[in-house]
């Protein structure tokens, strides 16, 4: 029903709940006929982070799933927040993207306001306050890592607003597989190469042991000197080469009869679209 | 802390069409608010609807009471006076005001949230009818 009284009130921006009742009715009527309402695309992820001697390493896989279908084979899950702070996002893909973009803008405004470089605790605090305000309806689980004046830090923020500060963290559907690797081989104050290998192995464990994670391993190394973004650091899931030929040679089956019917077709338009078979 | 002013503005329910009709003379204003349906209006349809409606007011209440505890009663009183003054700076009834003074007082000019990205009132597809809105504002209709 068009609420014509609404324009007379002061309009504010933000979320609008006008359609929730209609959506609830639509969903119930759809489920009666056996159809499912379209769901939000989740990332079905493995994300991980560790603190090593000089800084923080964040790692993520690159698969985005839409229920049981892979929606994106090579998406980016490590988002920029500040020059010294990066954030991995799991959960609903759109929520994680928009949340990290809002955080990045807020951090930039804050830095311009105070004239100081951003702190990782500031990002975590703003994130958890925002996620708590929306009571978990924004389904974004994030790992925030960075190096600031107080040193390298790693925080994880859950969709309802709780957070943890730990030397190693994993989140997403492949978190259990990845954290088992960390629990086994993590040592405090590791060297850079050792730490990179450990994160790579943890994400690879998530890729192979979890259906929702796959494709490549992305790494992001943050130190005081700067940030190194290693996209596609490792591709453990590439297709192998086929060893044998499975086609039959022409002439294997005898031809009994042959009828040729010519179709007079004219080529109107030709366009080539390359399929991404990697 | 005298929060009577703020408390009276807090909405603890969505407007109920049947119980408290918005029209004049206490009759349901079918022209503006549509047909009545108690089930429709009595309960909020989304768990966040109420908390989002009251969010700004709750924030203000919290800030004012902590300010009162830190600096004394004068601080929130002076600020509320400024808020009231800033809230009165509006344009004509059907034009959207930027609320710049109010935003600056609240500190919203230094942060970006969903209110700035989604459902921007300056870019809404529907425009109110100027005549109807002025009449509504003046109480003629």
Contact A17 B46 (CB under 8 A): yes
- Residue A49, classed as helix, strand or coil, is strand
Q: Is the CB of A105 less than 8 angstroms away from the CB of B137?
A: no
Asked if the Cβ–Cβ distance from A137 to B133 is below 8 Å, we say no
Amino acid A39: pLDDT: 73
DSSP string, A10-26: PP--S---TTHHHHHHH
Nearest to A151 by CA among A112, A99, A188: A188
In this complex, is the C-beta atom of B140 within 8 Å of any C-beta atom belonging to chain A? Answer: no
Quick one: average pLDDT of A27-31?
84
- Burial annotation A41-80 (CB, 10 A radius, 16+ → b, else e): bbbbbbbbbbbbebbbbbbbbbbbbeeeeeeeeebbbbbb
Total-model pTM: 0.78
To the nearest whole Å, the CA of A161 is away from the closest chain B CA by 15
Helix B55-71 / helix B74-87 crossing angle, nearest 10 deg: 150
HEC profile of A76-142: CCEEEEECCEEEEEEEEHHHHHHHHHHHHHHHHHHHHHHCCCCCHHHHHHHHHHHHHHCCCCCCEEE
Chain B 10-49, residues with CB within 8 Å of chain A CB atoms? 22, 29, 31-35, 40, 44-49
**Which residues are A227's β-sheet partners?**
A222
Higher pLDDT, B16 or B125: B125
Phi–psi pair at A47, nearest 5 degrees: -125, 150
Catalytic member of A43, A45, A99, A204 = A45
Q: Which of A79-88, A241-250, B39-48, B51-60 has the lowest mean pLDDT?
A: B39-48
Query: Across the A/B interface, how many CB contacts are shorter than 8 Å?
Result: 87
Q: With 50 as the cut, is the pLDDT of residue A3 above it?
A: no
Asked if the model's pLDDT at residue A190 lies above 90, the reply is yes
3-state DSSP call for residue B83?
A: helix
What does the pLDDT read at residue B6?
59
Enumerate chain A positions whose Cβ falls within 8 A of a Cβ in B: 1-5, 7-8, 11-17, 20-21, 24, 98, 102, 105-106, 109-110, 113, 130, 133-135, 137
Sign of CA dihedral A246, A252, A253, A259: positive
Alpha carbon separation from B137 to A9, B16, B104, B131, B140 (Å, rounded): 10, 21, 26, 10, 8
Report the range of poorest mean pLDDT among A34-38, B35-39, B113-117, B137-141.
B35-39
Catalytic annotation on A45? yes
CB contact under 8 A, B117 and A110: no
Cβ–Cβ contact B88 with A under 8 A: no
Looking at the DSSP bridge assignments, the partners of residue A66 are A69
Query: Residue with structure tokens 């009994």?
Result: A256
CB contact under 8 A, B52 and A14: yes
Q: What is the pLDDT of residue A135?
A: 92
Greater confidence (B67 vs A33) lies with B67
B-chain residues near A105 (CB < 8 A): 112
| Residues of chain B found within 8 Å of residue A94, distances taken between Cβ atoms | none
Please state the rounded mean pLDDT for residues A10-30. 80
More confident residue, A36 or A196: A196
Residues of chain B neighbouring A137 (CB-CB closer than 8 A) = 47-48
Q: Given B33, B40, B119, which is nearest A13 (Cβ)?
A: B119
Please tell me the distance in Å from A129's CA to the nearest CA on chain B: 12
Asked if A84 contacts A227 with a C-beta cutoff of 8 angstroms, the reply is yes
Residue A167 pLDDT class (50, 70, 90 cuts):
very high
* ipTM of the complex as predicted: 0.74
Low-confidence winner among A21-30, A164-173, B74-83 (lowest mean pLDDT): A21-30
What 8-state DSSP symbol labels residue A173? T
Distance CA A221, CA A195 (A): 10
Check pLDDT > 60 for residue A21: yes
Tens digit of pLDDT for each residue in A96-135? 999 999 999 999 999 999 999 999 999 999 999 999 999 9
Q: Indicate if the pLDDT at residue B40 is higher than 70.
A: no
Please answer whether residues A164 and A118 qualify as being in contact, where contact means their C-beta atoms are separated by less than 8 angstroms. no
């Amino acid at each position: 029903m068009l609420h014509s009284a609404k324009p007379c009130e002061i309009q504010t921006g933000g979320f609008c709940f006008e359609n929730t009742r209609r959506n609830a009715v639509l969903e119930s009527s759809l489920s009666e006929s056996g159809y499912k309402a379209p769901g939000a695309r989740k990332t079905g992820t493995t994300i991980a982070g560790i603190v090593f001697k000089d800084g923080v390493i964040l790692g993520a896989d690159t698969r985005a799933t839409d229920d049981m279908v892979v929606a994106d084979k090579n998406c980016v899950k490590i988002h920029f927040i500040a020059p010294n702070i990066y954030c991995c996002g799991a959960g609903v893909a759109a929520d994680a993207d928009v949340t990290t973009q809002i955080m990045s803008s807020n951090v930039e405004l804050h830095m311009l306001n105070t004239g100081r470089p951003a702190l990782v605790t500031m990002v975590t605090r703003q994130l958890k306050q925002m996620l708590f305000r929306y009571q978990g309806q924004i389904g974004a689980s994030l790992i925030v890592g960075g190096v600031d004046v107080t040193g390298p830090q790693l925080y994880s923020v859950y969709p309802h607003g709780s957070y943890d500060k730990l030397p190693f963290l994993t989140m997403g559907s492949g978190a259990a597989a990845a954290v088992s690797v960390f629990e086994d081989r993590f040592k405090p104050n590791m060297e850079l190469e050792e730490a990179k290998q450990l994160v790579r192995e943890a994400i690879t464990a998530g890729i192979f042991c979890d259906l929702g994670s796959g494709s490549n391993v992305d790494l992001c190394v943050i130190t005081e000197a700067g940030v190194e973004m290693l996209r596609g650091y490792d591709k453990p899931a590439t297709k192998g080469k086929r060893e044998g030929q499975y086609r039959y040679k022409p002439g294997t089956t005898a031809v009994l009869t042959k009828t040729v019917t010519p179709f007079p077709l004219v080529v109107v338009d030709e366009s080539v679209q390359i399929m991404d078979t990697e | 802390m005298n929060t009577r002013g703020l408390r009276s503005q807090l909405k603890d329910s969505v407007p109920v069409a049947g119980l408290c009709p918005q029209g004049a003379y206490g009759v349901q204003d079918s022209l503006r608010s549509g047909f009545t349906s108690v089930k429709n209006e009595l309960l909020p349809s989304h768990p966040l609807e109420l908390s989002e409606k009251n969010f700004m007011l709750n924030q203000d209440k919290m800030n004012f009471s902590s300010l009162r505890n830190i600096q004394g009663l004068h601080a929130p009183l002076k600020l509320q006076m400024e808020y009231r003054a800033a809230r009165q700076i509006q344009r004509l009834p059907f034009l959207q005001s930027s609320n710049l003074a109010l935003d600056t007082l609240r500190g919203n000019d230094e942060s970006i949230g969903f209110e700035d990205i989604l459902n921007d009132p300056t870019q809404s597809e529907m425009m109110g009818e100027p005549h109807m809105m002025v009449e509504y504002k003046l109480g003629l209709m």
